[in-house]
A and B are shown apart, each in its own frame.
Chain A
């Protein structure tokens, strides 16, 4: 069954218009709980209260305000927030292309799959051209009244649209002020570390990594569901020694 699209629009590169549909490419599998009252197991619900009157407030009497200074708010109507979305509508203009490999992982935010709309030939052509050139098209995308910077690239047989962080949203290493330490690692230590990296080198295979914590939580729920007593065991911390060389040697020796 075809998945449900979440946005229909057009990607353009120059005068070529490619009608497209967007699909979620990712989903969180985190175990979600409801909040309940410990005493009686009843659901917890959240109610809105006016902090001044100490009275419950209905949702229709709630507005959104931006705090310009302590306690002073500028209230925006829904339509006014919409005005910030700009006039781009449902179009993503790819205005320039960059080598996809140059985009540092730190910029990638969220990924969507791009499927074809009508005019499937144009979709196929864009996919093939991006795949062959190894480039990503850069453009802007308006979704739920918010504009994003995006990169569109070929991912296997489909196109992917990645929302990107803006440069000022990314913290640079220079801002960290890390102490350099008085003694640099010795050449011998570096060589040992190199050998250790080589020994642990492998191809990237995401299927090797399972969320064992999620499994453990689900298992806990099942055991609790059967009425089992849960053992609240203590955790142990790894020791860390100061002898780098000995630790490196021992690591290599144990392989």
Chain B
């Protein structure tokens, strides 16, 4: 042990002895963690997601063609396959908007919002959709 280190050690012991005579002092508090939700690591798309996206696209096309009930059926299949794919909820809300059932559209729009929260572009679309639902509700 070097002399300098011995000095540090003695100083520490002294501090400890003094600390025993004093009211316990809380240690310096670390700053409160600021992160809210731990970002999830990007993972390669699973086969289920890939298959689900095929159905999502199919559902979207059916919606475009005006085959709303068919689109709902396909999008529900897509949800069965991969329930975390928020686009399915978005298009389901779109389908119910087309059927002018605001209450159903609203439920799916909220689910879309929950699942697409990390995607700014999609969140804009979800917000616009919410406005259209609100319009329908009036």
Instruction: Please say whether chains A and B are actual partners in one complex.
Output: no
Interface residues of B (CB under 8 A from A): none
Interface residues of A (CB under 8 A from B): none
